[in-house]
Amino acid sequence: MSEENPHVKAREFSVLYRDRPAVKKVTLSIVRGAVTAIIGPSGCGKSTLLRAVNRMNDLIPGCRTEGELLLDGENIYAPGIDVVALRRRIGMVFQKPNPFPKSIFDNVAYGPRLHGRLTRQELAERVEQSLRRAALWEEVSDRLHTNALGLSGGQQQRLCIARALAVEPEMLLMDEPTSALDPRATTRIEDLIAELRGSYTILIVTHNMQQAARVSDYTAFLYEGDLIEFGPTRDLFTRPREKQTEDYLTGRFG
């Protein structure tokens, strides 16, 4: 994990809904292969910043950006960027598990079928590999052709992670991936994030400060669209530089 060669870099980056800024002139570097958490109270711009990385905010009428957001040194908001190709490089996992009403196999195979030309054998291998990486293979290998909606909530979320991994992205965006899950399923997802660290750059939005402390290498604290503090998670949680960060972490607001 090198801080010298950031995977994603924001330079004075803002996101505005018409003229209302949701993210204000944020500058930070996301370290390649590391887990970075974004924390802050509701409405502070966490999810907006996360979704800017794969340009999902483009789908919101009146949304625009200012400044630069670089992926491997290239501004992803520059004219002529292939957004479909960009999203192949960046997997997305949402707050609530959202498996397709298809079989477990077809859920994971969906992306590779859409984007590539794999043989039947290669596709089967890709599905198995993705389910293994998502720590789900042992639980579902004997029922790949049953409906994914029959899985538990935690299994469905790991299936969604497998589906994201199946297109072989460089990066995973996770928007509150455990907020709809029970404590046991949450632990499985957190363990999975730890296993994926180093193989993927992971950016996770979480309301749960203890979760951020457990799973992340770096943490960004946002408040009302401003980046208040960013740095190694251990430093931010034990020796915050900003009083606002300390007040949030100690529960004085939020």
pLDDT tens per residue across span 180-205: 999 999 999 999 999 999 999 999 99
Residues in the chain: 254
- Rounded to the nearest integer, the mean pLDDT of the chain is 95
pLDDT digits (tens, 9 = 90+) for 140-186: 999 999 999 999 999 999 999 999 999 999 999 999 999 999 999 99
Give pLDDT, residue 202.
Answer: 98
d(CA 185, CA 179): 10
Residue 253 has pLDDT above 80, yes or no: no
Give pLDDT, residue 252.
Answer: 82
pLDDT digits (tens, 9 = 90+) for 81-118: 999 999 999 999 999 999 999 999 999 999 999 887 89
40 band by pLDDT with thresholds 50, 70 and 90: very high
Give the DSSP H/E element, type plus range, for residue 89: helix 83-89
Give pLDDT, residue 52.
Answer: 98
Give pLDDT, residue 2.
Answer: 53
Residue 129 has pLDDT above 70, yes or no: yes
Give pLDDT, residue 139.
Answer: 97
251 band by pLDDT with thresholds 50, 70 and 90: confident
Domains of the chain by start residue, with CATH: 8-97+170-249 (3.40.50.300)
